[in-house]
Structure 1
């Protein structure tokens, strides 16, 4: 109601809408989003700001397809998801983007 304002009328059952989303009940499913974004941000920074070897490692990562477990494939690309740095860096990136958005809106 806050988002749509008076333009939309909701049935009382709408309050239960979130309960029907099955992936919330699958173990660790929603964490895959955060993990994937963290890995993607780390990889993109290596491609955009890294060395030629970083870019080559990324291409090797893509070439590996599904031949390795994801955690090993990412490690070979220079992103170790068993360490906290990729997640901390993703949170820092997100914070920076929020700061930029707030600045543009003010």
Structure 2
């Protein structure tokens, strides 16, 4: 499409064709709304297909890690450590039950209220 020349004062500038000019040239401007929606639907369908293809390629390229045979021994060791931690926590709860809990007065010593403590 050719650029039209516009004269503004002493300056001449090239006018870029608008979106409507391009639509008139391609014949898309005169399409019905149904055909426009159909064309846009085809474009979006193609883009979705490309996206799915790329995700499948990425998934195919991904190699999942394999488990080590020594992993089972490590998990047993971790379970033993968890049991030890549970035993320590239980013994601490027993000890804390025996320690008397100190109570604090209702008013702190820095209170500025005038009244009985």
Tell me the TM-score normalized by structure 1: 0.30
Task: Indicate the structure with greater strand content.
Answer: 2
Higher-helix-fraction structure: 1
Name the larger-Rg structure.
2
